[in-house]
A = this chain, B = another copy of it.
Amino acid sequence: MHEKCGVVGVSLEDRDAARPLYYSLYALQHRGQESAGIVTHDGFQQHSHVEMGLVGDAFEQSDLEQLNGSQGIGHVRYPTAGSVNACCAQPFSVSFKSGSLGLSHNGNLVNADEVGDQLADLGHAFTSDGDTEVIAHDLARNLLEEDLVRAVKRTMSRIHGSYSLTIMHDDTVLGVRDPEGNRPLCIGELEDGYVLASESAAIDTLDGELIRDVRPGELVVLHADGTGYDTYQLVQPENTAHCFFEHVYFARPDSVIDEQLVYEVRRDLGRALWDESGIDSDVVMPVPDSGRAFASGYAEAANEDADADGVEFAEGLMKNRYVGRTFIMPTQDERERAVRLKLNPIKSTVEGKTVTLIDDSIVRGTTSNQLVELLYDAGAEEVHVRIGAPPIVAPCYMGIDMASREELIAADQSVADIRDEIGADSLAYLSIDAIAGALSKSKADLCLGCVTGEYPYDIDGEAKDREVDRPAIGTAASADD
């Protein structure tokens, strides 16, 4: 279950949490369009509304009005092929002996089956095959025997993989980030409460102030009266495994993740791209909207480069702003035209010129191929493609739905082959070192699985890029304190 999702949690002093949660989910809509859900607690009971579709479609006025209570969590879920299924929409709710639990999960466990089997041995029955339900059951079980903080710690000792969680235990809202810090999670302050969210843009939307990122391995417990929060560093990781792809592609440019503004990281990556593989051309042109920050940094560096001729930054591909809505797809015959429904080249910007086209990444390569062709058709003399990330050579198991290995154009081809396949005059990717540099992190603190094929997790059939001693499940519990 590879999910790109968004999670949020709020605790307010005196105001219903439903509307702030709703706005937060709207701010995180780019992290998931398949389903949206909110669970609140009014001190006595949970209220829940989870539905398929975009935030705006999933909730009506009356739904928000029924979601009583000043505490709550929310979730948006990414549409992954084949799983368009109401059963997996979140937050996931259960009631158990010592109260109710709601969970919103962004990430992917690598040992969900193992933990699930152990719980099944103890008699647990599951309504879905999702790893979120496994976390919920494990936590519920631990809560029978221990207090909240110890219960979370025990669960963290048993589950492995990526997880940024917002949890509601009765009316207490928690945030948990996995020890590797793979997925983002941050905490912010509102005028009358606190908020946990996948990205700081959600905090901005609520007119709040970003306090800081939740640390890898940290638990944040929001006071149920909205006046404060406690934190517990439950696991002290030796190394992290931050996902650099959040910065490259997935997160909003206006979010700050792990202390860095995504937009600035992208501009820095663009500058590095010029340094590594800059090429003189008449115009530098982004693939809108994904390549814009990269192209702006690239052009800036080019124009500052005393050895270079100077370059024009131009918007040469115009996007139909209704892209992404319902649409009857072109027939097979018309398929090559499909890209023009989305992006139209501006002839005067392209005709007779040498063009550098900048994008954030290449996954399958089909769109790049179509765009290059489009630019030649519009009269470009040369088309050079520059990519603000390294070649993606392997799938992501940690929560970004990229494609399977067979579909990845770079999985088994050299850069020269890819250049030929997309038909460009030249092609260059960014180096992994440049990524680490722009993020001010050691490579050992990044998850680079998709660009190296070596993962910081135990994944069946895949290489591991580090040695970490993990306690075996089950013995973990006794090693708790």
Contact = CB atoms under 8 A, between A and B. Distances in A.
A192 interface: no
B125 A124 contact: yes
A315 B296 contact: yes
A249 interface: no
B26 A125 contact: no
A67 B140 CA distance: 33
Q: Which of A124, A144, A326 has the most CB of B within 10 A?
A: A124
B122 A96 contact: no
A169 B99 CA distance: 29
A134 to B, nearest CB: 11
Contacts of A59: 328
A252 interface: yes
Given A254-B346, A264-B348, A321-B289, A328 B125 contact: no
A129 B95 contact: yes
Contacts of A347: 261
A124 B57 CA distance: 34
A5 to B, nearest CB: 16
Contacts of A322: 26, 29-30, 54-56
A334 interface: yes
A13 to B, nearest CB: 15
Contacts of A86: 86
Interface stretch (A271-279, A336-344, A410-418, A452-460): A336-344
A232 interface: no
A205 interface: yes
User: Copies per complex?
Assistant: 4
Contact of A207 (B93, B129, B337): B337
Interface in A11-45: 19, 22-23, 26-27, 29-30
A204 to B, nearest CB: 5
B95 A123 contact: no
Interface string A413-433: 000000000000000000000
Interface string A53-65: 0111101110010
A234 B346 CA distance: 33
Nearest to A120: B97
Interface string A393-422: 000000000000000000000000000000
A320 interface: yes
* Centre residue among A101, A126, A254 by max chain B CB count within 10 A: A254
A281 to B, nearest CB: 18
A292 interface: yes
Interface in A141-180: 141, 144
Interface in A312-366: 313, 315, 318, 320-322, 324-328, 330-331, 334, 337, 340-341, 344-349
Contacts of A215: none
Contact of A253 (B97, B313, B318): B318
A292 B292 CA distance: 12
Shortest Cβ-Cβ A-B pairs, 3 listed = A254-B318, A97-B120, A56-B326
Given A29-B322, A124-B125, A252-B344, 6 more contacts: A26-B320, A55-B327, A97-B120, A121-B144, A205-B340, A264-B348
